[in-house]
Amino acid sequence: MTTLVGKTAPDFTTQAVMGNGEVVEDYNFSSAIAGKYAVLFFYPMDFTFVCPTELISLNNRIDTFRDLGVEVVGVSIDSHWTHSAWRNTDVDSGGIGQVDYTLAADLSHAICQSYGIESDGGKSYYPAGVAMRATFIIDQKGIIRSMTVNDEPLGRNMDEVIRTIEGLQFFEENGQVCPAGWNKDKAAFTPADPSKLADYLSENAKGL
């Protein structure tokens, strides 16, 4: 697996189902996220078990992502037609319903390979060839700022994705780094001044 943090997010053009249900043949990722933050959200397969809980959880927070200026894009090795069928299956029937973000197809596996998260089977719980549960947070310049990967049985926490984006934006706006467990209501400090770290630790270490 390649670490891509600090590098330009690999671009791709593929078939996709848009948030309005439209099926397109030439969805281009870099064009879709130009000037925006982005969450690129890989998952193993449509019509599975943990995956729908994650995609529904993402959609339940879509207004928060939009308020943060984030484009959300899901990717698996399924076709755009399978994405569409899953999207058109009600939640009560095991589907994901009309999610409001793009689902991109990766039938050739080229996208998950370019991001270094295609499973080789190995000792993980993934079958070989599927995309791992990988989340990439990308800044407005197209640079990957966070990369997380879970093994197949372990669903992701979408509130943590939001917290990480908020931390990135806070750092960009204020130049202050975000300590362990940081959120918008907690203190941060400027890394260039060693005294600020000492002050922060003296006041906050026990609560970390």
Active site residues: 51
Which burial class, exposed, middle or buried, applies to 197 when counting CB atoms under 10 A from its CB (0-12, 13-18, 19+)? middle
The whole-angstrom separation of Cα 99 and Cα 168 is 26
Nearest to residue 32, comparing CAs of 107, 103, 135, 114? Answer: 103
Which burial class, exposed, middle or buried, applies to 129 when counting CB atoms under 10 A from its CB (0-12, 13-18, 19+)? middle
Number of other residues whose CB lies within 10 A of the CB of residue 140: 14
Q: 36: which residues sit within 8 A by CB, 6+ positions away?
A: 69, 70, 71, 140
Number of other residues whose CB lies within 10 A of the CB of residue 55: 25
Alpha helices in 41-121 (DSSP H): 50-60, 62-67, 80-87, 110-114
Nearest to residue 104, comparing CAs of 34, 17, 38? Answer: 17
Q: Which helix (H) or strand (E) holds 41?
A: strand 37-42
